[in-house]
Amino acid sequence: MSEGKPTVNVMETPVGGADFLTLADVGPDGVEHLLQQAIQMKDLQKKNVPHPYLAGKILGMIFEKSSTRTRVSFEVGMLQLGGQAIFLSSNDIQLGRGEPVEDTAKVLSRYVDGLMIRTFAHKSIENFAANADVPVINGLTDEHHPAQVLADLLTIFEHKGDLSGVKMCFTGDGSSNMCHSLIEGAACSGMDIAVASPEGYKPDKAILEKAKQIGATTGSCITITDSYKEAAAQADVIVTDVWASMGQEDEQEKRINDLTPYQVNSNLCSIAKDDYIFLHCLPAHRGEEVTAEIIDGAHSVVFDEAENRLHAQKAVLKNLLGD
């Protein structure tokens, strides 16, 4: 890390001076703190109470992957917090023409108060953060999606009244960024999580081990299985994600063949609790990872989840960029 930015997590410095790269880095106290802040942000907005905590602040947003919810939630979030956001496509800045990440990070740190990046390799954002003198936020990488999962945790809390002891089932590609961050989020919040995926689609071992270490302190039970029946049995929450993410389009046919047995459908959901809720980060492919009957049904809370991206992102922004 550069000398201008302390190497501490969100909770150790609740306001300013850190990065938001993974939920494991934030830790249980930090996740709880951010969720409390997100609840406050949502309450203020619903009551139409101005909350310009970031007046005069500017967020730079670098996108190497396209986005709907990430871009709009961070941009609107900054505006509602009294600041501004600048959209920077990698095609429009020198990063896309080969400028070293280190140089881009150092230059942009002199223009803006924080940077949100949506990119491919997680090491790229780690390198960026190591060379930036302002807070860096992970908008998505191939390995992690903490901004989304913070919104997922908020949604589960709203519908279940608690997180500790809640059982979450993830079925599909266990090696995805969503699954990795859901495992970390469950570990940090004391939830139980069961991941059902076939061989070749298991979670990263290092990420899993770190999450289990955290879970040992919060009472979280993490189960990895080949059986969707084991994962979904008596689940309070069922989650899935697309089977082929951006950059994996050439694997689409193989992934459909491998993952079809893990589709979220009425048969799988019948094993869960009667009052289960269904989450999906969107966009969804109806008829692939989830049937229309489920995602458009009474148990689906995907649009509450999408809305909560805004409130969760505002909590992160307030904590990292606030005075």
Active site residues: 118, 145, 148, 241, 281, 309
213: number of Cβ within 10 Å? 11
Reduce the DSSP state of residue 133 to 3 states and report it.
Answer: coil
Place of tokens 């000398």: 3
Please tell me the total number of residues recorded for the chain in this structure.
323
User: How far apart (Å, rounded) are the C-alpha atoms in residues 21 and 210?
Assistant: 15
Q: Is 146 annotated as a binding residue?
A: yes
Reduce the DSSP state of residue 9 to 3 states and report it.
Answer: coil
Q: Is 13 annotated as a binding residue?
A: no
For residues 146-173, one letter each, b for 16 or more C-beta atoms within 10 angstroms of the residue's C-beta and e for the rest, the string is: bbbbbbbbbbbbebbeebeebbbbbbbb
Q: Is 97 annotated as a binding residue?
A: no
What is the DSSP-derived secondary structure letter of residue 282? S
User: How far apart (Å, rounded) are the C-alpha atoms in residues 189 and 174?
Assistant: 19
DSSP string, 35-79: HHHHHHHHHHHHTT----TTTT-EEEEEESS--SHHHHHHHHHHH
User: How far apart (Å, rounded) are the C-alpha atoms in residues 65 and 246?
Assistant: 8
Alpha helices in the chain (DSSP H): 23-46, 69-80, 101-108, 122-131, 146-160, 177-189, 205-218, 228-232, 252-259, 266-269, 292-295, 302-321
Q: Is 226 annotated as a binding residue?
A: no
Q: Is 118 annotated as a binding residue?
A: yes
How many alpha carbons lie under 13 Å from residue 260 in its C-beta half-sphere? 7
User: How far apart (Å, rounded) are the C-alpha atoms in residues 30 and 193?
Assistant: 20
Place of tokens 């960029």: 321
Binding-site annotation: residue ranges for L-ornithine: 177, 241, 245-246
